[in-house]
Amino acid sequence: MAPITQASDETNHQALLDKLDLYAIRKPFRKPTWKPPQRRNKNVKQIIAEASRKEASVMATQNNSGSSTPLPPATGADTGATTPANGVNRQPNIAQAAQNLSQLVLEKNLRAANSTGPTVTYTNIEAAPSLHPASQRHYCDITGLPAPYKDPKTRLRYHNVEVYGVLRTLNQATTENHLAARGAHTVLK
């Protein structure tokens, strides 16, 4: 409850807050019946993990071994040995129907995949690591200048002897922070 800009001072700050506050404003365009689902805030990692888990489970059920199908799909139609009037086959076979449906979906997906290559997802459009030799240039961890040397003890790269003098005075935590800036620090798990 403190003013942090020039826009208000102690005397008119509360008035400004009252004016800016959105909580008290009526929002008729929101449906009163809307209840946000619980735990809907997920980070990218969670979302991706859940999506891939779901995909894996769908694949597992679609790619079934036949144990869930009491009858092979071709028995009835091809041979004609059994009449449609046969009481057993006239019973709706839910497992078979489900399998047919999932097969259909799978086939459709496969077709789609074949036509345009692998589907594009959030994860697979990420740029790959660099393979170009020029990306192996080294820069001084302290000044950012080109670094021909590396201190074997701290693993810091440095520009010249003066910078080396400085890096010898750094303690371990600072050294690690310098390394962390280029992602070369030791991560303890």
- Hey, which residues between 21 and 80 contact another protein (CB under 8 A)? 21-23, 25, 27-31, 34, 36-37, 40-44, 47-48, 50-51
Nearer to another protein, 32 or 87 (CB): 32
Residue with tokens 């910078």: 163
Nearer to another protein, 42 or 90 (CB): 42
Binding range to another protein, per CB under 8 A, among 57-65, 81-89, 99-107, 154-162? 154-162
Among 60, 81, 88, 127, binds another protein (CB under 8 A): 127
Nearer to another protein, 83 or 169 (CB): 169
φ/ψ of residue 139, rounded to 5: -125, 150
Q: Does 97 bind another protein (CB under 8 A)?
A: no
List all residues 6 or more positions away from 182 whose beta carbon is below 8 Å from its beta carbon: 141
**CA–CA gap between residue 168 and residue 178 (Å, rounded):** 13
Number of residues that bind another protein (CB under 8 A): 73
> What is the residue-wise DSSP string for 22-81?
-SSS--TTS-TT--PPTT----HHHHHHHHHHHHHHHHHHHS--STT-SS-TTHHHHH--
Among 77, 131, 187, 188, binds another protein (CB under 8 A): 131
